[in-house]
Each structure stands twice: as C-alpha cells, then as structure tokens.
Amino acid sequence: MKRIALLGATGSIGRQALEVVAAHPDLALCALASATSPLDELAAAHEVQEVQVGGDLVELLERAEPDLVLNAVVGFAGVPGTLWALDSGVDLALANKESLVAAGELALAAWSRGGARLLPVDSEHSAVFQCLEGRARDSVHSLVLTASGGPFRGRTREQLEHVSVDDALAHPTWSMGPKNTVDSATLANKGLELIEAHYLFGLPYEAIEIVVEPTSTVHGVVRFRDGAALAHVGFPDMRVPISYALTYPERRPTPVPPLDLVGLTLAFDPPDVDTFPLLSVAREAGERGGTYPCAFNAANEVAVTAFLAGRLPFLAIAELVARALGEVDGAPARDFEDLVAADAAARRAAEGALQPA
C-alpha cells in the first residue's frame, strides 16, 4: 500500500488525483490539505485520517508520515511541502511548479540530501522525464517544451488591451485552476516551466527551447546527440501524468482513450515574445539565477491576483513583473528564511507598482 499525502486536494489537479487514487486499491490517501475549502466530505469519502485546512503543511506531513507527497498547492505556498519531501527522502510527485522555480538551488540541495524520487506532474516535464528515462545525461543535446499558446495565441498587443478575466480564463485545450490559466494566457506559465525544467533536468537554459503547438498533443521532446529526437504525445489530460507519477514506475490504465493519429495535424511555431514578453522575462530571471526566479514568481503571483480581481489590465501583468524584478537584488538564498524574505521583497515591489483601479 502506497500512502499518499495530497496537498491542494480541492483544486483542479487535486480532484483529478482523487480520481486516480480511487481507481487503484493499492493507493491510499493518508492526508489532505486545502487553503480554505472544507475537506470533511472528501475525508469521509476517501477515508483519510489527517486533514488540514490552512496552517502549516509541514506539521501535517510530519503527522501523516506519507510514502509519497503529491504537491498540488498553487503558488509559493507549495514551497514548504516540496522542501519537506525532498529533505526527508519522501517521494515527491510535483505539480506545484512555483516551488521548484522559487526554491531552485535550495530544493536541489534538499533533493540530494534526501535522495528520494522527484516525479514531475506538470505534463511537459512528465513527458521529458519519460523520454529521458534510462538514457545517459551526456547523450542529451537539448529539450523542447511545448506551449499551447493559450487563448490569445495569434493576437496583437492592440487586440489584448481590453481583454477581460473571462477571456483569459477560456483556455483552448487544458482545464486548470485560474492562476495557471492566466499564466498560460501571458506565457508566464511557460516561463515558470522553463525554469522548472532547468532545475529538474540539470540543463542550461540555452539547451531548453519553447515552441508553440496549439493542439497540446505533443507535450515534450528530447533531442539526443546522435540526431534522434524522442517526443511524448497524447491527449491533453492531466490524469495521465498524475497517474504516471503516483504509480511510477508502472504505467497503469487510465480512462483516457488511445491517441488516434489519423486526422491529426501538428504545426509548431516560435512563441511570440513581443506580444507575450513574460517568457523572455522568465528566461532572463532564470539565467541571472540567485533569487531572481523566486522574485519572478512572487511578482507574477501578485500581478495575476490583481488581474483576477479586476485591478490590473492584462498587458500590465508583464509590465508589473518586469518592474518588480528591476527593484530586487536577486541575492542567492542561503536558507528558507532568505527565500521567504526574497519572496516578500518582490511582492512588496510588485504591490508598490500597482496603480489603484
């Protein structure tokens, strides 16, 4: 029996994970966490002992003693759960991309101390992870992460001046929580994923390319030094990477139908970084290193929250993030306290730049 602690049980990933766990008698939930949503019904339905709404996720994890943590919390709030699992040598199925982006080197150090598995749930990273399995790292030439392009693919900046929150939340291929959906519309999501891939797979930024593939059928590609490239393809359905991470190294059945290639048309384009500058801003933050990625994430969280609340126009999200990054020092974090301080400084810079609506 594999005992799983599910952090973020009430979200988009969390609900799909509950479905995956329920399909396998040898998977059990030992803990559930949310921020504010009640968990009583889920706890009763899935017979979970340890539940926690809000509060310190590390305390919950220490009480629950899981075999695996599925971190499906959204935002920087996911960092303590990620660091706890990595440091404690407990397998981590990681959906919360923000924690690897923000914690970066600290997370890698904890991972090497703890020595357990880090199984990516983000679909592109799960794809690359699967293409890399069993291959020597020095045989890899480069990675390609695909982007759907989001709901505003093909639009000009002028056409984006007055887009609404509902427009940004209408994602063409993936059904996700609001933060991730807005990040997909600005391409900040792909920026976060670029930094996530850098830390997960230990490759320099110049060896990680982003291309737009509007159907979200090709999730990731690994190019090898012999000229071969392996791609991972499939329907855009998060139950596949969730199931893979929870049942690794097996490949259990899911309700997702087999891919039919007939009638499928694939086209790949470079991302439009003039219209969606956050991808370039993220790449630059990643390359500068230190706590710049943490600051990128923090400023982006503030900007997305403001956009969702109607306090910031869509195009101002990127401007706010770039401005906040110009105001922080990006000094490397020696410990979690430093990281919390860097996160807070970037939030203050972003909030200071917010104009009243």
Binding site residues, Mg ion, CB under 5 A: 122-124
Contact pick of 4, 5, 13, 349 for ligand NDP (by CB under 6 A)? 13
Q: Which amino acid is at 118?
A: L
**What character string, x for contact with ligand NDP (CB under 6 A) and - otherwise, covers 75-114?**
--x-----------------xxxx----------------
Contact pick of 19, 22, 37, 309 for ligand NDP (by CB under 6 A)? 37
What stretches of 115-263 adopt beta strand conformation (E)?
A: 118-120, 140-147, 208-212, 218-224, 229-233
245 burial (CB, 10 Å; 0-12 / 13-18 / 19+) is: buried
- 34 in contact with ligand NDP (CB under 6 A): yes
Contact 149, 113 (CB under 8 A): no
Shortest Cβ distance from residue 56 to ligand NDP (Å)?
A: 9
- Tell me whether residue 179 or residue 283 sits nearer to ligand NDP (CB atom): 179
- 35 in contact with ligand NDP (CB under 6 A): yes
- 73 in contact with ligand NDP (CB under 6 A): yes
Shortest Cβ distance from residue 73 to Mg ion (Å)?
A: 16
- 300 in contact with ligand NDP (CB under 6 A): no
- 191 in contact with ligand NDP (CB under 6 A): no
- Tell me whether residue 122 or residue 343 sits nearer to Mg ion (CB atom): 122
> Nearest CA to 81 among 98, 58, 109?
58
- 230 in contact with ligand NDP (CB under 6 A): no
- 174 in contact with ligand NDP (CB under 6 A): yes
CA dihedral angle for residue 198, residue 332, residue 185, residue 317, rounded to 10 degrees:
-160
Contact pick of 10, 126, 184, 216 for ligand NDP (by CB under 6 A)? 10
- Tell me whether residue 239 or residue 348 sits nearer to ligand NDP (CB atom): 239
* DSSP 8-class letter at 249: T
- Classify the phi-psi angles of 289: left when phi > 0, otherwise alpha if psi is within -120 to 50, otherwise beta: left
SS3 123: helix
Shortest Cβ distance from residue 253 to Mg ion (Å)?
A: 23
Shortest Cβ distance from residue 121 to ligand NDP (Å)?
A: 6
SS3 137: helix
Strand order in the sheet with 50-53: 50-53, 27-34, 2-7, 68-71, 91-94, 118-120
How many chain residues are in contact with ligand NDP, going by CB under 6 A?
29
**Which neighbouring-strand residues pair with 28?**
3
Shortest Cβ distance from residue 122 to Mg ion (Å)?
A: 4
Shortest Cβ distance from residue 220 to ligand NDP (Å)?
A: 13
Shortest Cβ distance from residue 125 to Mg ion (Å)?
A: 7
202-221 binders of ligand NDP (CB under 6 A): none
What stretches of the chain adopt beta strand conformation (E)?
A: 2-7, 27-34, 50-53, 68-71, 91-94, 118-120, 140-147, 208-212, 218-224, 229-233
- 171 in contact with ligand NDP (CB under 6 A): no
- 12 in contact with ligand NDP (CB under 6 A): yes
Binding-site partner at residue 95 among Mg ion, ligand NDP, none, CB < 5 to 8 Å by type: ligand NDP
Q: How many CB atoms lie within 10 A of CB 51?
A: 20
Q: How many CB atoms lie within 10 A of CB 131?
A: 20
- Tell me whether residue 223 or residue 286 sits nearer to ligand NDP (CB atom): 286
Contact 119, 206 (CB under 8 A): no
- Tell me whether residue 73 or residue 349 sits nearer to ligand NDP (CB atom): 73
Provide the binding-site residues for ligand NDP, judged by CB under 6 A. Answer: 7-14, 33-37, 57, 72-74, 77, 95-98, 122, 174, 176-177, 179-180, 238
